Structure 1
Amino acid sequence: MQNAVILINAEKGQVKAVAERLADIEGVSEVYSTCGRYDLVAIVRTRDFESLADLVTGRLNAVEGIRDTETLNAMQVHSRHDLETMFSLGW
């Protein structure tokens, strides 16, 4: 499993619409609106690196209203939850 955090800035007045569009993309598990330097934070979980690359360079780029992004690729996941099991069961 490939995990990433994507930091997103939206065009003015587009934060909610962009968040809703992102939440509909397969592989995007959560989208948070935030205050501060970035408008949105998307948590992404994909099967492998190629799927992540497709999501970021293909499907994410097609979302209208995104001004810029920064993708943080997770090297290791430190969690009390067994994320692999949760997502393989469809949670």
Structure 2
Amino acid sequence: MITAFVLIRAKGDRIAALGELIAELPQVAEVYSVTGPFDLVALLRLKDIEELDEVVTQGILGLPGVERTETLLAFRAYPRKLLDQGFSLGEG
């Protein structure tokens, strides 16, 4: 299984609609709106690199309003406890 993060820059008036469309793709586990140079981040779970190519180049990049993507591949996931602490925002 391959885990990938796709950073997506979108036209401002299309961000919410794109988030919903991208979330409907079967390989997309989660989609977040974010701050910074990109507008959305999609978390993908894929069986192989060919599927990654299809989802990004034929799926996400083909949606109206997507201006640019950048794809990051995950090498390793760390213990859940550490991941949960990262999102706690100051809670003990």
2:54 is matched with 54
Q: Which amino acid aligns with 2:48?
A: D
The answer to whether the aligner puts 1:5 opposite 2:12 as a matched pair is no
TM-score by length of 2: 0.80
More helix by share: 2
Pairing of 1:1-91 with structure 2 (within 5 A): 1-80=1-80
User: Normalization by structure 1: what TM-score?
Assistant: 0.80
Root-mean-square deviation (CA, aligned residues, Å) is: 1.5
Identity score, percent: 38
Q: Secondary structure at the match of 2:61?
A: coil
- Paired residues, what number? 81
| Structure label with greater radius of gyration | 2
Runs of 4 or more off by more than 6 Å in structure 1?
none
In the alignment, structure 2 segments of 5+ residues that lack a partner are: 82-92
